[in-house]
C-alpha cells in the first residue's frame, strides 16, 4: 500500500520480494556481484527505512530502501523469462511472489503512476514487516511499554 502524508491510501499493488524468507540482509551483501549471492541469501530485510530516490547502474530510477545492502524499490524487470515475474504479480496469492535478490519489485505501471511521483520529490518511509521475528524487533518505537505510573 502507498499512503499519503495524511495516512490515506493512494494505491496498492502486489510486489515481488526476496527469494528467501528472512528478516535481515547478509552482512556485506551489497558489495557482492549478483552472481555470488546464494539463493538462501536473497532476503528482503524487515524494518522501517527512509526512501531515497536514486538511479541504479543502468540509469533506471529507483528508490533506495537500504543502500548498504543494495536493496531498492523499483519497477519489475522481467529479464529472465523462466522467473515469470509478471505472471507471479498477476496471481491472486502472494505465495509465488518470492523471486528477487532482495529488492522490492513493483508493477511498472503502478511504480510510474503512484510510487515514483509520491516518493521521488519528498521524504518517504517504507515499512517491511518481519517474517520470522516479532514485529516489535523490527519496529521497537511502535511497541514502547508505558512507564510505571503513566
- Tens of pLDDT, residue by residue over 10-61, are 999 999 999 999 999 999 999 999 999 999 999 999 999 999 999 988 899 9
pTM recorded for the entire structure? 0.89
How far separated are the first and last CA of the chain, in Å rounded?
A: 34
Cα separation values, 141 from 135, 136, 145, Å: 11, 8, 9
Contacts of 88 (CB under 8 A, 6+ apart): 16, 96, 97, 99
Listed by start position, the domains of the chain span 13-135
Share of the chain above pLDDT 70, in %: 95
User: Using CB atoms within 10 A of its CB, is residue 89 exposed (0-12), middle (13-18) or buried (19+)?
Assistant: buried
145 has a pLDDT exceeding 80? no
Amino acid at each position: 500500500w502507498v499512503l499519503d502524508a495524511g495516512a490515506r491510501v493512494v494505491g496498492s499493488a502486489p510486489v515481488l520480494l526476496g527469494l528467501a524468507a528472512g528478516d535481515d540482509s547478509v552482512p556485506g551483501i551489497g558489495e557482492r556481484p549478483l552472481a555470488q549471492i546464494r539463493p538462501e541469501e536473497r532476503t528482503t530485510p524487515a524494518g522501517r527505512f527512509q526512501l531515497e530516490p536514486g538511479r541504479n547502474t543502468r540509469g533506471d530510477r529507483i528508490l533506495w530502501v537500504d543502500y548498504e545492502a543494495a536493496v531498492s524499490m523499483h519497477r519489475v524487470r522481467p529479464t529472465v523469462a523462466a522467473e515469470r515475474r509478471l505472471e507471479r504479480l498477476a496471481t491472486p496469492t502472494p505465495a509465488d511472489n518470492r523471486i528477487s535478490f532482495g529488492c522490492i519489485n513493483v508493477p511498472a505501471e503502478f511504480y510510474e503512476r503512484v510510487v515514483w511521483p509520491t516518493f521521488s520529490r519528498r521524504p518517504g518511509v517504507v515499512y517491511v514487516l518481519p517474517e520470522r521475528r516479532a514485529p516489535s524487533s523490527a519496529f521497537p518505537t511502535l511497541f514502547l511499554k508505558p512507564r510505571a505510573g503513566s
